[in-house]
Structure 1
Amino acid sequence: MPVFAPDPFAASAADRSACRAAIRAGSKSFFAASLLLPPSVRVSAYGLYAFCRLSDDAVDEAGGNRAAALARLERRLTAACAGRPDNHPADRALAEVLARHAIPEKLPRALLEGLAWDTQGRRYDTLSELAAYAARVAGAVGAMMTLVMGVRDGPALARACDLGVAMQFTNIARDVGEDARAGRLYLPREWLDAAGIDPDAFLAEPRLGPSLQRVVADLLAAADELYARAEPGIAALPLSCRPAIRAAGLIYAEIGRAVEANGLDSVTRRARVTGARKAGLLATAILPAGGGGLSAPPLPETAFLVEAVTHHPVPAARRLPPWWNVSGQVVRVLDLIEVLEERDAFRRSAAS
């Protein structure tokens, strides 16, 4: 059941509008899927996303001052957790979300830890080490979204973390070349060694070959196993929230299929899911979610996130407002995707 506590303050309408604009500009897929959420959940989701986006951008744009940028983010997070956010829409929205939904500080702190690993240029020897990274930059977000939807059960949180890790694995499989050209390599070193790929040589000159294709295929297979593990968790969410989360999982899994359709070439090509295909997946998302397998234990790499929630005090609860018009919301989302696709096509033609 959704959890709310009396807010020591509230983000303004302008703050919430700014957060909504951030998600619309930063991720059309996430924005479209978010419209399937009940309005109250959607507002909190925008607040979470805005801070995640702000954090990611602050580190990426800091250049040689990434450590200082991370220190500033740590300070801002501490202030938001204390109910004294910095004068920025994302900070005020985050503070409201953390207080309203009783989100443990350890969850957003894990996200910043993952960003710190990026600034350190950390590489990962095993799939487990990569999963530990994904737990921080994506699993923590999945856990926070689950709390925003009012679910605090350990098994449901474990499945949400599975979904976040799966999505991050998909991102990594899609962006191998882009990451390498930026000096980053996330593929497990053990896998690269077994494939005869020298990591430093690959970073110096990213090339596609059968060995790399096998590594990418293996990572997508690991992601697919986690998407399957995550599916039962959707049935544990409020009925009104299930279509949006199922849509997000389906769209991300489809990115993996697009990578495969590109011949597992993540070096010279970037896999994309068309607007029409996203629309089809969004329509599929209203179908019932499976319920078996919910009780599987969390991944060892995400267990600390689940434990942080189960040991966190919970305020009084109340129900989400009714939200029954799922089919009507799907129609709105499909219309939005069509508008966004047409707008993109217009901009591309104007630029050419």
Structure 2
Amino acid sequence: MRASSPDIAEPSAEPFASEGDHAACRASIRAGSRSFYAASLLLPPRTRRAAYGLYAFCRHSDDAVDEARPGTSAAAVARLQARLARAYAGEPADNPADRALADIVVAHAIPRALPEALLDGLAWDAGGRRYETLSDLCAYGARVASSVGAMMTLIMGVREADALARACDLGVAMQLTNIARDVGEDARAGRLYLPLRWLAEEGIDPDAFLAAPAASPALSRLVTRLLEAAEVLYARSEAGIGALPAGCRPAIRAARLIYAEIGREIERAGLDSVSGRARVPGRRKATLLLRAAVPRSAAGISAPCLPETAFLVAAVAAVPAPAATPGWWDIAGQVVRVLDMIETLREREALARESAP
């Protein structure tokens, strides 16, 4: 039996998620993010299965808020918070992602503060919050991206503060890249994530830009600043990858390389994130997957935690690690290992065919 925590239910006799639920979670990541799906194929089977479940819940939560009818986003967030409470109580809602999450939080002792931070970020989206400074934007990234990175780190069996801090760096870096890539798409949807102080420095009126988003030299300079801030955090995150289990490092490094490459694609497009949306070509993505296997130095892992992500690291420190005693989650992972490996080989072959000229 694991050490107890007031936030996490005791393990159930049987897992909540069925094989069909796991298949649905896998399909969710494949449809929702080709970049993350490609990187996930490098994960060990047991870790990959949990990652799919986590992604499915995060993806479903994001979609529930994005697709809510006008004026109902806050209610959508409230429903998600209620579902999260049910998952932590061991009474998940009737949804594959909820059942998978209920298993994951027990098996990996994930403090409730982490997924709650994600829902807080979605609530900020629902309220149309704008961000005055880069620090404010990093606080948003901490919630919608670093929270997921911290949960993934726990799924991989690592709870050390330095490794978690570097995972949070990677999450914020990815979110800054997302924002740099989606400036035009967000503006056309009435959303603005660029720091208001930066806009003022460039003489860009936020509301006028939302009314008629257009590329400009001034906007390109803001995109450059976002990408530069992301690059600093990508570099800091690299040291944390070396603290992960050896079998997990290539997948996380692949995700880091592919996302950083989105920034290079934005630059190749002339820093115009309004007229189009940067994508990493399949062949380039395949090359980066190969590069991900090359070991890197872990120097710098003890760099200070970002102030905006410190609350996530502290939340993990407050929850005891799961006991090493085998439970149903270990047994299930062994039973599906061979089948999972066969499926992974098939997926990699399909990815190679898609990337071929």
TM-score (ref. length: structure 1): 0.91
Residues 1:298 and 2:305 aligned together: yes
Residue among 11, 31, 44 paired with 2:37: 31
The one-letter amino acid of 1:21's match is A
The one-letter amino acid of 1:54's match is H
Deviates more, 1:77-86 or 1:332-341: 332-341
CA deviation map 1:253-281 (0-9, x unaligned): 00000000000000001111000000000
Task: Give 1:102 shift.
Answer: 0.1
The one-letter amino acid of 1:257's match is R
Residue among 195, 200, 213 paired with 1:188: 195
Structure 1 CA distance, aligned partners of 2:34 and 2:320? 35
- The 3-state SS of whatever aligns with 2:248 is helix
Q: Which residue of 2 aligns with 1:14?
A: 20
Residue among 255, 258, 261 paired with 1:254: 261
Structure 1 CA distance, aligned partners of 2:213 and 2:201? 18
Structure 2 CA distance, aligned partners of 1:80 and 1:274? 38
Structure 2 CA distance, aligned partners of 1:330 and 1:12? 19
Task: Give 1:339 shift.
Answer: 3.9
Structure 2 CA distance, aligned partners of 1:237 and 1:53? 24
Task: Give the direction of change, closer, same or farther, for the CA distance of 1:73–1:182 in structure 2 (3 Å limit).
Answer: same
- The 3-state SS of whatever aligns with 2:320 is coil
Structure 2 CA distance, aligned partners of 1:263 and 1:302? 32
Structure 1 CA distance, aligned partners of 2:49 and 2:84? 19
Task: Give the direction of change, closer, same or farther, for the CA distance of 1:283–1:332 in structure 2 (3 Å limit).
Answer: farther
Residues 1:101 and 2:108 aligned together: yes
Task: Give the direction of change, closer, same or farther, for the CA distance of 1:162–1:333 in structure 2 (3 Å limit).
Answer: farther
Structure 1 CA distance, aligned partners of 2:155 and 2:109? 9
Structure 2 CA distance, aligned partners of 1:47 and 1:166? 23
Task: Give the direction of change, closer, same or farther, for the CA distance of 1:177–1:290 in structure 2 (3 Å limit).
Answer: same
Cα pair 2:283 2:355 within 8 Å, conserved = no
Q: Which stretches in structure 2 are left out of the alignment for 5+ residues?
A: 4-8
TM-score (ref. length: structure 2): 0.90
Residue among 293, 307, 314 paired with 2:314: 307
The one-letter amino acid of 2:131's match is Y
Q: Which residue of 1 aligns with 2:240?
A: 233
- The 3-state SS of whatever aligns with 1:239 is coil
Residue among 216, 224, 233 paired with 2:223: 216
Structure 2 CA distance, aligned partners of 1:329 and 1:284? 23
Task: Give 1:61 shift.
Answer: 1.1
CA deviation map 1:99-148 (0-9, x unaligned): 11000000000000000000100000000000000000000000000000
Cα pair 1:114 1:137 within 8 Å, conserved = yes
Percent identity at matched positions? Answer: 64
Task: Give 1:31 shift.
Answer: 1.0
Structure 1 CA distance, aligned partners of 2:310 and 2:75? 30
Residues 1:53 and 2:67 aligned together: no
Residue among 263, 269, 283 paired with 2:290: 283
Structure 1 CA distance, aligned partners of 2:353 and 2:29? 16
Cα pair 1:282 1:330 within 8 Å, conserved = no
Residue among 131, 140, 144 paired with 1:124: 131
Q: Which stretches in structure 1 are left out of the alignment for 5+ residues?
A: 346-352
The one-letter amino acid of 2:64's match is A
CA deviation map 1:214-252 (0-9, x unaligned): 000000000000000000000000000000000000000
Matched positions, count: 336
Residue among 134, 145, 152 paired with 1:145: 152
CA deviation map 1:162-208 (0-9, x unaligned): 00000000000000000000000000011111111111110011011
Cα pair 1:255 1:271 within 8 Å, conserved = yes
